[in-house]
Amino acid sequence: MVNEIGGSSRQITTPKSEWIDISLPLRDSMVQGPVEPLTPHIEFILHRKKFNNVAMCQININSHNGTHIDAPYHFIEEGETVDQMNLDTTIGRARVIEIRDNMSIKPEELKTHDIQPGERLLFKTRNSSRPERMKKFFADSVYVTVEGASFLAEKKVRLVGIDYISIGGGGLENIDKTHLILLNHGIYIIEDLDLSEVKAGKYEIICLPLRLEGGDACPVRAIIRPV
């Protein structure tokens, strides 16, 4: 019999995982977008020394803090809420596309990638190489233009991901239009991915929205592995 409270280190070793974490750390006071009104606050409220050796934290965050997924309901009143999202869309084959344009993602560049219906596309841009991305908001992040969003809708992709807080960039009008086009066409959006260590190519993705009842978005863990 194992000692009642005694322990050992992890008894099951697994081979080095193939999964690559493409989520950013979710942390207290982390940078957020221009619209979110409250700073993320994550705090330990039970402390081991005071409470029976238990640590427990309180998480006060916006649905769009950190790596997160947008549900259609974020922009569309009758759209799917985050707990209604189709998990066959958030799990499956995905492609990482490296974007050369340092300003925005436009149809001209997208056309060179032979995009197929039903694809899950993750855009790696120069955002991934900005070292201060966790600390300050860049209004000049690489984003999907309105025309780029329309092109992706026409191509009938099912999910898009980007390596910064907003797929619509820092300008409010473009933020709104790009989101609205994508979400109105049932295209899910994952924002604030960390693609810095990832090469362009074919992968499998897993990203599970929380079952946040009636929510417009939620923080997620997103992972990929090469196929």
Question: What residues numbered 185-204 form the site for a second copy, per CB under 8 A?
Answer: 185-186
- Do 218 and 210 contact (CB within 8 A), yes or no? yes
- The verdict on whether 74 is a catalytic residue reads yes
Give dist(CA 152, CA 137) in Å, integer: 26
Total residues at interface with a second copy (CB under 8 A) = 92
**160 burial via Cβ count (<10 Å: 0-12, 13-18, 19+):** buried
Contact call for residue 64 and a second copy (CB under 8 A): yes
Question: Which 71-110 positions form the footprint of a second copy (CB under 8 A)?
Answer: 73-77, 83, 86-89, 91
Max CA separation in the chain (angstroms): 66
The closest alpha carbon to 152, from 191, 204, 187, 202, belongs to 187
The gap from C-alpha 110 to its chain's centroid, in whole angstroms, comes to: 20
Question: Which 141-170 positions form the footprint of a second copy (CB under 8 A)?
Answer: 146, 150-151, 153-154, 156, 158
**Residue closer to a second copy (CB basis): 161 or 215:** 215
CB of 126 to a second copy, least distance (A): 23
The gap from C-alpha 174 to its chain's centroid, in whole angstroms, comes to: 19
CB of 223 to a second copy, least distance (A): 6
Contact call for residue 53 and a second copy (CB under 8 A): yes
From 74, 113, 179, 185, active-site residue: 74
Contact call for residue 17 and a second copy (CB under 8 A): yes
Contact call for residue 5 and a second copy (CB under 8 A): yes
**Residue closer to a second copy (CB basis): 17 or 112:** 17
Residues 6+ apart with CB under 8 A from 60: 38, 40, 41, 42, 43
Contact call for residue 35 and a second copy (CB under 8 A): yes
Which active-site residues does the annotation give?
Answer: 74
